[in-house]
Structure 1
Amino acid sequence: MTTIEKRLTVEPLSGWTGALIHGADLSQPLSDGEIATIREALLRWKVVFFRDQDLDHASQIAFGKQFGDVTPGHPYEGTTAPEGFPEIHTVSPKAYDHRYGADCTKRRGAAGPGWHAEVTPLINPPSHSILRAETIPPFGGDTQFSNVAAAYQGLSEPVRAFIDELRAEHRFGAAFDAERSSEKIGDLVRTNPLATIHPVVRVHPESGERVVYVNPSFTREIVNLAPRESRHVLDLLFAEVARPEYTVRFKWEPGSVAFWDNRAALHLAPQDAHHLDHDRVLHRITLVGDVPVGPNGVKSESISGEWFGAA
């Protein structure tokens, strides 16, 4: 445990990923030193956590604005945001049923969202996410995070050199073929498709680290490879980013907050609580991101969808 700034203490939670920050009151404006401490911890640990925070929608948004512009809650789901707070995206079984229908929720079950960063099919995916817990089940419902900069370094040098030159298509709904779905989510994707070609390896705009920038929820295929080749390469990378040594598991409590860098971390939503009769309600905001750039200097290219800006 190390003290980096007068009031804040940063406690690493694993060898690569995640740190718990003590001494912060996120409901109040932060000092320049506190902001710098949190930024430094994010760059090193990719996700930071806070306990016992007294936040509502307004104060969560105010906290986020100290680190960047806050986006709308979701590119598809803005109409489900709480009244007066278009930046808030609520994560709960009831909210998901309202957006996509109860049948979709039940059908997906344990095959629901896999490892992902927020909405990577955007030309400028959100740079950061801030998720706060309101109602938490007595057990289950943990979220996992993976450090994809560490995953890149874990690959052999020839593999790193190979993937440095690749690009991949990210598409909303790619994980469960929403384009063919007859459900509400399929209608959203068909009428307003969201897709971008990103570098498979992204250079982090602040740290300069190279990160594996694919994920099983949104990455559809590697372009300029045969389908069979693309599948094998993606399976290799998906397995690498999910290796346990690169991950941390966070147990939520009411008032807990997770703040992570979507440019260097993936997260995995829990799949162990759908069958339990317990509510789980969290609220998320995201910060405006930039256009990814690969090691060769080539930027991402939009196929369909607009810049995702401030609310």
Structure 2
Amino acid sequence: MTTDTGTGTTGGPRGGAERGGAVEVRPVAGHIGAEITGVDLAAELDDRVIQEIRAAVLRWKVVFFRGQRLDHDTHVAFARRFGEPVVLRRRGSASPPDVPEVETTADRLELGGRFGMDHEEWLRRRRHTLLRGWHCDHGARVDPPAATILRAETVPPYGGDTTWSNLAAAYAGLSEPVRAFVDGLRAEHRLGVGYQPRPGDDAYVRHLMEHQVATVHPLVRVHHETGERVLFVNGYYVEQIEGVSRAESAAILQMLLEQAVRPEYTVRFRWEPGSVAFWDNRATIHLAPGDNAHLEFPRIMHRVMLRGDVPVGVDGKPSEPITGSEPGRW
């Protein structure tokens, strides 16, 4: 998302809905999340409606639409109103071959098989701590996506919810001395952090060594559009805080991750077929569901991500790539 609306705050109206013509933005939690009604995302929306949606995303960090009738092409067309969609170099067989901007989440079921593991083992080796699954999309890159637009095609009758957390609210909730401390820190974000290798030869470890992605990001980034300070941590990519010992780094990161996912900063969304979630990937982390695999119901989702900027810290210093990515190249 590239247009500055000047609407980014962590305050806002006390209850009720925000109205703008036929569009209604109804907050669903105290710090994050709003449901938008009165919009057909498959239609040719005028600029006023686009600006209202953009302002709601910046204000509430994630917004939800229900009962939408998007297909792959209209999904991409809607995303283009807010920025340039990312085209991944590699997708799985479930993604539509003729619409390169769309990635289907069912592709991830294939990942473990590429490295000799079933999906359950694949998840277990990558998510072995309670906070491990929380992430922003492609956070190890030097220019993580600015936003993600995810739509549901098929969902289980129960289970399969997604949860998001507001990292601007989490930063604001820290005490002043801790904010001053973390403002000046930087951390290494790396693909494959915390992965538990298989005994003997591990094909995924070889893959990580051959396709590694790593970046030094500010621990507090200044949001490009709103100017908010954002606690830029997650359990999936962060490897080590620079300038401190590994023991100190682990303790600080544990504290900050627990702060980032405090329940009051989160919202949980119950998907339905035709639901769409649109979130600011710069100011949130999210947690994919872990309660539906044993149910054996299909869950098919499609996402489009928007290109982002290189994060900048409180000191004005941008993130620095270590390996595997450079701005604008995917």
TM-score band w.r.t. shorter chain: over 0.9
Alignment equivalent of 1:98, drawn from 110, 120, 129: 110
The alignment covers a number of residue pairs equal to: 307
CA distance in 1, matches of 2:160, 2:100: 25
Structure 2 match to 1:82? 96
Q: Decide which of 55, 59, 74 is 1:44's aligned counterpart.
A: 59
Partner of 1:275: 294
Structure 1 residues 87 and 107, CA, compared in 2 at 3 Å: closer, same or farther?
Answer: same
In the TM superposition, what is the alpha-carbon distance from 1:103 to its structure 2 partner?
Answer: 2.3
Q: Distance in 1 between matches of 2:327 and 2:196?
A: 23
Structure 2: gaps of 5 or more residues: 1-15
Residue in structure 1 matched with residue 207 of structure 2 by the alignment: 188
Q: Report the Cα offset of residue 179 of structure 1.
A: 11
Q: Aligned residue for 1:306?
A: 325
Counterpart-to-counterpart distance in 1, 2:201 and 2:272: 37
Aligned partner letter, 1:167: R
Q: Secondary structure at the match of 2:158?
A: coil
1:117 and 1:100 map into 2 onto residues whose CA distance is 21
- Alpha-carbon separation, structure 1, partners of 2:39 and 2:47: 13
Contact 2:61/2:283 (<8 A) preserved:
yes
Distance 1:70 1:44 in 2: 22
Which stretch of the first structure deviates more once superposed, 186-195 or 113-122?
186-195
| Corresponding residue of 1:57 | 72
Hey, what does 1:67 align to over in structure 2?
Answer: 82
User: Which of 288, 296, 307 is the aligned partner of 2:307?
Assistant: 288
Offset at 1:2? Answer: 2.4
Deviation, 1:100, is 2.9
Q: Cα 1:158–1:180, aligned 2, differ >3 Å: closer, same or farther?
A: farther
3-state SS of paired residue (1:4): strand
Contact kept, 8 Å, 1:173 with 1:179, in 2: the verdict is no
Partner of 1:156: 175
C-alpha distance after superposition, 1:52-74 (max 9, x if no partner) = 0001111111110000000014x
Q: SS of 1:103's equivalent?
A: coil
Q: How far apart are the structure 2 equivalents of 1:58 and 1:66?
A: 13
| Distance in 2 between residues matched to 1:28 and 1:308, nearest whole Å | 32
1:239 and 2:252 matched: no
Amino acid corresponding to residue 43 of structure 1 in structure 2: L
Instruction: Compare 80-89 and 59-68 and name the one that shifted more.
Output: 80-89
Mapped partners of 1:184, 1:54: distance in 2: 40
Report the TM-score when normalising by structure 2.
0.88
Aligned partner of 2:189 in structure 1 is 170
Q: 1:160 to 1:218 in 2, by over 3 A?
A: same
**2:274 matched to 1:259?**
no
Q: Write the mapping of 1:136-155 to structure 2, written as runs, cut at 5 A.
A: 136-155=155-174
Deviates more, 1:102-111 or 1:158-167: 102-111
Kept after mapping to 1: 8 A contact 2:112/2:122: no
Q: Which residue in 2 is equivalent to 1:249?
A: 268
Bigger Cα displacement from structure 2, 19-28 vs 103-112: 103-112
The 1-side partners of 2:99 and 2:327 are apart by: 17
Q: Secondary structure at the match of 1:155?
A: coil
Q: Give the C-alpha shift of residue 39 in structure 1.
A: 1.0
Q: Does 1:30 align with 2:45?
A: yes
1:187/1:14 Cα in 2 relative to 1: closer, same or farther (>3 Å)? same
Per the TM alignment, residue 7 of structure 1 is displaced from its structure 2 partner at its CA by: 1.8
Question: Shift of the alpha carbon at 1:309?
Answer: 3.7
In structure 2, C-alpha distance between the alignment counterparts of 1:246 and 1:298, rounded to whole Å: 27
Contact 1:27 1:55 in 2 (8 A): yes
Cα separation, 1, equivalents of 2:97 and 2:176: 51
The 3-state SS of whatever aligns with 1:134 is strand
Cα distance in 1 for partners of 2:161, 2:141 equals 27
1:8 to 23, 29, 33: 23
Tell me, yes or no, if the aligned pair for 1:168 and 1:219 is still in contact at 8 Å: yes
Do 2:310 and 2:327's aligned partners in 1 also have CA atoms closer than 8 Å?
A: no
Counterpart code for 2:26:
E
The Cα RMSD (Å) is 2.0
3-state SS of paired residue (2:293): coil
